[in-house]
């Protein structure tokens, strides 16, 4: 099977793509999508490490997979709240650009 380095590398690559996307893009939706990408990368790392954990003396342990399920649920909560905030912001400001959301900036 695939060595763990490649799984973790893929996870790190996806996470980095998410970070760069959240930094570079100035659209609220694009930032939400990038954050979702980062959560997915973390879940992939959990499942990958769980495979090594199973190969050790712990046998049937699936704790990493449980963590991934929790990460997926948190992602669902994040997208629900995030989209509600996007809706409210777009209604109030008529823009999806984060450059326009500068009320807290002085």
Partner 1 sequence: MTLISAQVYLFYGFAGLAVLGALGSWLLVRNAMAAVMSLIVTVVSLSVLYVLMGAHAVAALQLLIQAGTALVLLLFVLLLVNPDPGGFGTRDPGQVVIQIIGAAAALAVGFVIAGTVSVTLPLPAEAAPGSGGFRELGVQLVTVYAVPVEAVGLLLLAAVVGAVVQTRQEGR
Longest dimension (CA), the chain: 57
Q: How many residues bind partner 1 (CB under 8 A)?
A: 75
Binding mask 73-102 for partner 1 (x = CB under 8 A): xxxxxxxxx-xxxxxx-xx---xxx-x---
d(CA 13, CA 16): 5
**Residues in region 52-71 near partner 1 by CB under 8 A:** 52, 54-56, 59-63, 65-66, 68-70
User: Closest distance between partner 1 and the C-beta of residue 4, in Å?
Assistant: 4
**Residues in region 34-53 near partner 1 by CB under 8 A:** 34, 36-37, 40, 43-44, 47-48, 50-52
Which of 82, 74, 69 minimizes the C-alpha distance to 30?
Answer: 82
Give the position of tokens 């959560």.
Answer: 39
Does position 25 interact with partner 1 (CB under 8 A)? The reply is: yes
d(CA 8, CA 45): 6
User: Closest distance between partner 1 and the C-beta of residue 58, in Å?
Assistant: 9
- φ, ψ of residue 27 to 5 degrees: the values are -105, 140
């Amino acid at each position: 099977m695939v060595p763990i380095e490649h799984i973790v590398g893929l996870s790190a690559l996806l996470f980095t793509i998410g970070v760069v996307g959240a930094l570079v893009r100035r659209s609220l939706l694009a930032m939400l999508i990038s954050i979702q990408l980062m959560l997915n990368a973390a879940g992939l790392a959990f499942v990958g490490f769980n495979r090594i954990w199973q190969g050790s003396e712990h046998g049937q342990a699936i704790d990493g997979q449980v963590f991934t399920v929790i990460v997926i649920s948190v992602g669902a909560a994040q997208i629900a709240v995030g989209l509600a905030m996007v809706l409210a912001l777009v209604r109030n400001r008529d823009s999806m650009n984060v450059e326009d959301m500068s009320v807290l900036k002085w």
